[in-house]
Amino acid sequence: MDPIHPPRLAPFQPTRREPGFHLPAAVREPVRLATVVGSVVLVAGAISAWVEVFLPGRGWFEQSSFAGANDGGITLELGLGIFAVAWADRLWTNRLAIVVIAPLALGLTALLDLRVAALTATDYINGEDLRIVGGQAYLLPGFWLAVIGAALATVAGAIRVWRARHTTRWTIGIARSFAGATIGGVIGAGLGFVVGITIGTRITMGIGGVSSSATALFAIAFAFAGAWLGAAGGSFVATSTKRD
């Protein structure tokens, strides 16, 4: 009887890239491109000034979107989240339900936050406090830019959910490491964002028109760093903790 030889597996070879210039996958698919464009427009609007105010004795000045309730900071993080899902191939092609609905959910949240910001700004613009001192104010194009970006990302996200409805597993099973990394990443991003805003505000205090943009850069950098550290720490804690 002839000996049975185990099958031999061919060595792994990565997929060969075709020569020449190729556009990123994120810009070759219309729905995905619309999501990317919407997120970029949302981020651009979020870091822009939203209100211009005139006060006697001070003149015209712009009110940062990070002032007050920090609605600009919230929409900035939402826009970055939408961009991450739309640009990363692993996330966009993932059929986990929470990833599929992420652009739609984040876009709707941004629209809701912008609605709250619009109501607050309208109350201030039409309020008696501003009229008594002889001031005036109006919304700047940056605010409407954020609205357009959020709306575009939301519509593209809804189309994505509709197209993926038959290939998505809507029952969710989450591994402990993934849950820990997610929770840690969210907490780390939030803490990093607050720290970045605080440091950026103190460093750029008194600089003038560049203060809001510089503060936004600090917030983005610290938020990403906090998210990375939080995700790594959360995953480690989740996997090292024994179940009872």
Q: Give the contacts of 130 (CB within 8 A, at least 6 positions apart).
A: 53, 124, 136, 137
| Angle in degrees, 0-180, between the axes of helices 71-87 and 102-125, rounded to the nearest 10 | 160
The tokens for 87 are: 């640009």
Work out the average pLDDT over 101-107: 89
Structure confidence by residue, pLDDT tens digits, 35-64: 999 999 999 998 888 888 888 877 888 877
Please indicate whether residue 4 or residue 238 has the higher confidence score (pLDDT).
Answer: 238
Q: Give the contacts of 55 (CB within 8 A, at least 6 positions apart).
A: 61, 133, 134, 135
Residues 132 and 211 in one domain: no
pLDDT of residue 9: 61
End of a domain among 141, 173, 205?
173
pLDDT of residue 33: 93
* Confidence check: pLDDT of 171 > 60: no
Residues 116 and 179 in one domain: no
End of a domain among 152, 173, 194?
173
Sign, CA dihedral 190-157-216-139, equals negative
Dihedral pair phi/psi, residue 59, rounded to 5°: 85, -160
Secondary structure (DSSP) of 98-161: HHHTHHHHHHHHHHHHHHHHHHHHHHHHT-HHHHHTT-EEEE-HHHHHHHHHHHHHHHHHHHHH
**136 in a structural domain:** yes
Work out the average pLDDT over 175-186: 73
Residues 37 and 151 in one domain: yes
Give me the number of domains the chain comprises.
Answer: 2
Residues 81 and 160 in one domain: yes
pLDDT of residue 159: 92
Structure confidence by residue, pLDDT tens digits, 21-34: 667 878 888 999 99
pLDDT of residue 210: 46
Structure confidence by residue, pLDDT tens digits, 62-96: 877 777 667 788 888 889 999 999 998 888 888 77
Work out the average pLDDT over 135-162: 91
pLDDT of residue 59: 83
pLDDT of residue 93: 85
Structure confidence by residue, pLDDT tens digits, 185-235: 778 877 887 777 777 767 766 554 445 556 666 777 777 788 778 878 887
* Confidence check: pLDDT of 142 > 70: yes
End of a domain among 127, 145, 173?
173
Work out the average pLDDT over 92-113: 86
Which of 23, 134, 31 lies closest to 82, judged by CA? Answer: 31
Average pLDDT, the chain: 79
Coil/strand/helix, residue 21? coil
Residues 51 and 158 in one domain: yes
Cβ-based burial of 98 (10 A; exposed 0-12, middle 13-18, buried ≥19): middle
The whole-model pTM stands at 0.66
